[in-house]
Structures are given as C-alpha cells and as structure tokens.
Amino acid sequence: ASVDRYLAAGLTADHRERTPVATVAQALCGLMARVHGDRALQFQAEGIADDLQFAGASADLEEMLGNLLDNAGKWAQREVTVTARVDDEQLRIDVRDDGPGLAAEALAQVTLRGVRLDERENSSGLGLAIVGDIAASYGGRLALENAQPGLRATLWLPMG
C-alpha cells in the first residue's frame, strides 16, 4: 500500500503544509541508529537551522529522508550525516555516508524503478525511485554523486 501511495505521489503533493526539517531529520537519525544498531553506525543531523522548513507534507519528507538514510546506512562504514540549508533559493538536503560510493554506470541507473544494487538486502529496488518521484511531485529533484569517501544524495525541494 505504501508503494502504491508513493507511485501516485504527484496526485498528493500538498504545497500548503510546512514541515520543520531539523525535527524530522533528528527523529529519523534516532530511528535509523536503532534500525542499523547491529553495526553501531552513527547517524547525525548537523547544522540544520531550527526554522528551516520544507513546503510540503511531513509524511513526504519522512518518506524521502527515511529512504535516503536507510540506504546510506546499508553502505556506511561508520557514519551517515544529514545536513540541510538554503541554496539558490531552494531547500537543499544532503545525506552522506562514508561507504564505498558507486561506479559511474551504477550512479546513472540506481534511481530507476526496480534497480537494486545490493542483492544481500531484502528490498524492492523502489526506494530511490520513490524518493525521486516524491521530490518531482513538488517540483524538486534527487541527485546522487560520489563524495570522497562515500556517496552524497542531494534533495532539492521547495522551501517553506
């Protein structure tokens, strides 16, 4: 049911709602530290202003950020960091892990629906596609790039 809801995300985007980014990021970091507790990873929300807001539904921000943090946690060696700031009049949220990063050809494919790079994990391969779809429903986008070390996922979204 959750997958169906987010595949239809373009119909549900609510631009009137305002969601505080710091609150959502801190709560999800705490949750992900427990989810990935067997590996003792550090999940940190750093330097996010208390008044920074996403112009959209909290459930949508939670779904996007939760997917990105969970995915980063699967690959991280020791830590995952989320930051958010205003950049070019948009909300920019970065989720960065200290894992191995991705090969160039994998970067181009990983956001496509059904593409799974980690065969060890029990997943549908829909997570990053859902994140991209929800971001697009708000006029935003998801970008992935290798960062030394690890991978950086950047969400560009409207500000509240």
Question: Mind listing the pLDDT tens digit for each residue in 80-128?
Answer: 999 999 998 999 999 999 999 888 777 777 655 554 445 444 444 567 8
pLDDT band at residue 72 under the 50/70/90 scheme = very high
CATH number of the domain bearing residue 66: 3.30.565.10
Average pLDDT, the chain: 85
Residue 146: partners with Cβ closer than 8 Å, 6 or more residues away: 101, 102, 107, 152
**The two structure tokens encoding residue 40:** 């003792």
> Going by DSSP bridges, is the β-strand pair 79-87/42-45 parallel, antiparallel, or unpaired?
parallel
pTM for the complete prediction?
A: 0.84
**Interval 90-100: pLDDT, tens:** 999 999 999 99
**What DSSP line would sit under 92-132, residue for residue?**
EEEEEE-S----HHHHHHTTSTT--S-TTS---S-HHHHHH
pLDDT of residue 13: 63
Domain tally, the chain = 1
* Separation between Cα atoms, residue 37 and residue 47, nearest integer Å: 24
Compute the distance between CA of residue 72 and CA of residue 50 in angstroms, rounded to an integer. Answer: 24
Domain interval for residue 84: 2-157
